[in-house]
Structure 1
Amino acid sequence: MAPRPRNTGSKDLPPNLYRKTDARNGVTYYTYRDPISGRVFGLGKDKEAAIQEANAANYAEAIRPTLTQRINAPTQTASKLFSEWLGEYREVFAERELSADTNKNVGMRINRLAVVFGSKGIKDITTMDVADYLTGMAKEGKAQMARAMRSLLRDVFVEAMARGWVTANPVEATRAARVNIKRERLTLELWKAIYEEATKPWLRRAMELAVLTGQRRNDIAAMLFKDVHDGFLHVVQSKTGARLRINTALRLESIGLDLATVVKQCRDRALSQHLVHHAQPSGRAKAGQPLPLDALSAAFAEARDRAAVKMGIKFGSQPPTFHEQRSLAARLHDAEGRDAQKLLGHRSASMTDLYRDSRGAEWIDVA
């Protein structure tokens, strides 16, 4: 908008700057009028300062887009809410046909993301937003959870990019939290001592299966006699869905046991479908019923603590749990020349390497 014609008294002033003299005291004041909005701004009594201010404002006005430019500018569409995409992502994830436990865990993590980022536009979520969220979780001592949430968030945005919701993944530039592994490893010597302290037959069977097969606690508790046929124990891992056939001739010389013998020892007077089961009534449990996971862990911990006292061992804040037998199995089978990765059902060798790592719990023989 062109400035109005200058009055005679304002010829020495830049466009849009005006002077006004107060008739009561004879003091001259300067004002600037915005040609677009019509608003008037007082610039005080200093002429030189007012001229500088006006020139600066006029320069900014000169580079301001014209009305035609603003009309023709592309319309900025509002970013879709992150919560909307999470609704679609749940369906995408369900199509992967993973185990019920995995779907349940991921579902709970998606709920967390909905609480934290759900009200934001998916395009408005920045790398800093993600980094702040993950860093805060790690500082609370939840580094493992921070890694899991980062992995999930990264996949959420990968799928969003594939469907055109976003053009970039803000998670890529973030760093995975460092996890300080605290749980102590289980050595073969300690395992044998715990085995001697295992007074319940079902605990011994569970320990034997754990070290021979290298399977997780819930998979051991779920093993059925009907899963043993054609010379193999068939296992479908609940966590990953990996399908394993473990030869019943599998033997560990370090403990002097083979899988076929252990399966045979699992049969007792109690009629049961489960390899690991109550041999006699116990509380509300009837003979033949499977063992709850917590019962396996608690019985193992009690035997472990008794063995530690006899061996003069003092554990730290994270003593070895029932799950540590999986790592011991990987190391024992590896030492006897077997492929620990296949036995554990890992997709990557790097994961198996983590289980092979004794974390300084075992002596290293040097020739």
Structure 2
Amino acid sequence: MAINEAISANRQIFDAPVSLNDRINEVKTLSMTEWIEQFTQKLQQRGLRPNTLRDYRVRLKTINNTFGDKEIKKVTTKEIAEFLNSYTEQGKTATAKLIRGVLIDLFNGAIAEGHLDNNPVVPTKNPRVQIQRARLSLKEFYAIRECADPRRPSVRLGMDLAVLTGQRVGDIQRMQWQDIHDGKWWLQQEKTGMKLAIPLTLSLGAIQETFEGILNQCREQIGGEKYVFMKNKKNNPMSIRLSLGFSELREKSGLKWEGSPPSFHEIRSLSARLHSEERGKEFAQKLLGHKSANMTNKYRDSRGVNGRRFEFIFLIFGGSIESSCYYLSLSFLEFKSQFFYCFDIGLYIRRWVAP
């Protein structure tokens, strides 16, 4: 009898309902792989551009390769810091900065869904990217342009359109004749979706060309039926590779820079600076398609290229400014068809070189 009662009591204990806390503790915590899959699906609802979505997926894959097996609640700030440091120690600071941004977004999404209370990425140090790529001066632009093969006009004309319109290399490569009508180039920038209508009358004194004039040269020298920079309509416009062609001409020029040499994209910065000088920074901002003036200011920053050039000229002459009586063509100073006394050059030295 006593044995039967004991068995019955044990059954009651084991068959008792599980408490709420016990049931919560038994729930399997979401893994990083599972959340990354959910987060990737949610990205589709943001209306991101294809390139942006692709970049997200690449970085999420990198994150998943490192943290995929961990439970999302067990990912620590220390682990994330070590992960980011593995990139900065290789000199990949820009990559670390981009991945950190995706990590913050990823964990913020988990907080919004109730999977986390705090974001472990926020306390980590935001990698500071040091700008290494040199700016391109107008003099250097012309020196590179002069190396172009007359039989291959695409790169030279692409450079001309880039400095005149201030547009990105991808948008220039995809330029179609059907988008040029009613006296304007009707453009939707691929990167931002910004819509622009650039008049064919647009000119730039520094290069003494008009938009329409350069387009006429493209029609005559390239002869593209659909694309401005492509003669064979069966090819992909991206196969033109203006960036690669520019790099080849840059190497051919023999010019040297401190740090990384300027790429084709630096022509956009040169355009911003030249248009700002001629028409003001507001005009440059509208032409480049920037919503923020701060972004345009980054492009307008010469990073000391003008100061270095004037200092170099002053060292050539030597001595006191007042004792110099030479004339100097301003085309050497990135201007054209004018002359300054060396005394005036000294004023520019003080303006650009003095701390």
Shorter-chain TM range is 0.7 to 0.9
Alpha-carbon shift at residue 138 of structure 1 (Å): 0.8
| Partner residue, 2:75 | 125
Partner SS state of residue 46, structure 2: coil
Partner SS state of residue 95, structure 1: helix
Q: How far apart, CA to CA, are the structure 2 residues paired with 1:341 and 1:178?
A: 26
User: Contact 2:229–2:240 at 8 Å: present in 1 too?
Assistant: no
Partner residue of 2:249 out of 303, 311, 333: 303
Alignment of 1:136-147 (within 5 A): 136-147=86-97
| Partner residue, 1:233 | 185
Q: Which runs of 5+ in 2 are unaligned?
A: 1-18, 311-347
Pair 1:290–1:329, CA change in 2 (3 A): farther
Alignment of 1:192-203 (within 5 A): 192-199=142-149, 200-203=152-155
Partner residue of 2:285 out of 307, 327, 341: 341
User: Contact 1:210–1:326 at 8 Å: present in 2 too?
Assistant: yes
Alignment of 1:180-191 (within 5 A): 180-191=130-141
Q: How far apart, CA to CA, are the structure 1 residues paired with 2:286 and 2:77?
A: 37
| Partner residue, 1:352 | 296
Partner SS state of residue 83, structure 2: helix
Partner residue of 2:227 out of 245, 250, 274: 274
Partner residue of 2:266 out of 324, 333, 342: 324
User: Contact 1:250–1:259 at 8 Å: present in 2 too?
Assistant: yes
User: Contact 1:217–1:293 at 8 Å: present in 2 too?
Assistant: no
Alpha-carbon shift at residue 119 of structure 1 (Å): 1.3
* Aligned residue-pair number: 287
Pair 1:202–1:355, CA change in 2 (3 A): same
| Partner residue, 1:81 | 31
Q: Deviations 1:79-124 (Å, cap 9, x if unpaired)?
A: 2111111112112212222222222222111111111111111122
Partner SS state of residue 109, structure 1: helix
Q: Deviations 1:288-324 (Å, cap 9, x if unpaired)?
A: 856545732232123223333xxxx433452111111
| Structure having the larger proportion of residues in helix | 2
Q: Deviations 1:140-187 (Å, cap 9, x if unpaired)?
A: 111000010011111112222222222221122222112122211110
Partner SS state of residue 260, structure 1: helix
Pair 1:256–1:353, CA change in 2 (3 A): same
Alpha-carbon shift at residue 207 of structure 1 (Å): 0.6
Partner SS state of residue 241, structure 2: helix
1:250 equivalent to 2:194? Answer no
Deviates more, 1:99-108 or 1:145-154: 99-108
Superposition TM-score, scaled by structure 1 size: 0.71
User: Contact 2:173–2:240 at 8 Å: present in 1 too?
Assistant: no
| Partner residue, 1:361 | 305
Q: Which runs of 5+ in 1 are unaligned?
A: 1-70, 279-285
Amino acid at match of 1:173: P
Superposition TM-score, scaled by structure 2 size: 0.73
Pair 1:317–1:236, CA change in 2 (3 A): same
Partner residue of 1:209 out of 130, 136, 161: 161
User: Contact 2:108–2:119 at 8 Å: present in 1 too?
Assistant: yes
1:154 equivalent to 2:104? Answer yes
- The structure with the larger Rg is 1
User: Contact 1:276–1:290 at 8 Å: present in 2 too?
Assistant: no
Aligned residues with identical type, % of pairs = 37
